[in-house]
Structure 1
Amino acid sequence: MFSHIDSQGNPSMVDVSDKAITRRVARARSIVVLNDAIMQHLQGQDIQTKKGPVFQTAIIAGTMAAKRTSDLIPLCHPLGLDSCKLTITAQGNEVIIECTTALEAKTGVEMEALVGASVAALTVYDMCKAFSHDIVIKETRLLDKTGGKNDFHQTS
Structure 2
Amino acid sequence: MEFTHFNESGRAHMVEVGEKEDTKRTAIAKGKIKMRKETIEKIRSGVIEKGDVLSVAQIGGIMGAKKTSELIPMCHNLFLTGADIRFNILEDAIEVESEVKTIGKTGVEMEALTAVSIACLTIYDMCKAVDKDMVIEDIMLIKKTGGKSGDYVRENLKGKVLSINISKEKGVIKEPIKEGLFIEDFGLKGDAHSGKWHRQVSLLGIESFDKMENQGIEGLEPGVFAENITTEGIILYELPIGTKLIIGETIQEVTQIGKECHTGCAISQKVGKCVMPKEGIFTKVLKGGVVREGDTIEVI
Q: TM-score, normalised by structure 2?
A: 0.50
Q: Displacement of 1:149 after TM fit?
A: 1.8
Query: For 1:79 and 1:102, how far apart are their aligned partners in 2?
Result: 10
Count of aligned pairs: 154
1:32 partnered with 2:33: yes
Question: Which structure has the higher relative contact order (CA within 8 Å, separation 6+)?
Answer: 1
Aligned partner of 1:61 in structure 2 is: 60
- Residue 102 of structure 1 corresponds to which residue in structure 2? 101
The 5 Å alignment of 1:1-156 reads 1-43=2-44, 47-150=46-149, 151-155=151-155, 156=157
Cα shift at 1:132: 1.3
For the Cα contact (< 8 Å) 1:85–1:99, is it kept in 2?
A: yes
Q: Measure, in 2, the Cα distance between the counterparts of 1:111 and 1:76.
A: 8
- The answer on whether the counterparts of 2:29 and 2:140 sit within 8 Å (CA) in structure 1 is yes
Kept in 2: contact 1:48–1:54 (CA 8 A): no
Q: Which amino acid aligns with 1:88?
A: F
1:74-123 per-residue CA deviation (whole Å, 9 max, x = no partner) reads 01000110000101120221201111000100000000000001000000
CA contact (8 A) 1:37 1:131 kept: no
The worse-fitting range, judged by mean Cα deviation, of 34-43 and 127-136 is 34-43
Q: Which position in structure 1 is the counterpart of 2:217? A: none
Q: So what's the TM-score if we normalise by structure 1? A: 0.94
How many Å apart are 1:10 and its aligned residue? Answer: 1.2
Bigger Rg, which one: 2
Q: Which structure 1 residue ranges, 4+ long, deviate > 4 Å from structure 2? A: none
Q: Secondary structure at the match of 1:137?
A: strand
Distance apart, 1:48 and its partner CA:
3.6
Supply the distance in 1 between the matched residues of 2:38 and 2:47 (Cα, whole angstroms): 13
CA pair 148-48 structure 1, distance change in 2 beyond 3 A: farther
> Alignment partner of 1:138: what SS?
strand
Distance 2:134 2:67 in 1: 26
Q: CA deviation at 1:17?
A: 1.0
| Structure 2 alignment gaps of length 5 or more | 158-300
C-alpha deviation, 1:40, in angstroms: 2.4
| Matched residue SS, 2:80 | coil
Q: Percent identity?
A: 38
Stretches of structure 1 that go unaligned for 5 or more consecutive residues are none
Which moved further from structure 2: 116-125 or 48-57? Answer: 48-57
Distance in 1 (CA, whole Å) between partners of 2:148 and 2:87 is 30
- Could you tell me which amino acid in structure 2 is paired with residue 126 of structure 1? D
Q: Is the partner of 1:52 in helix, strand or coil? A: coil
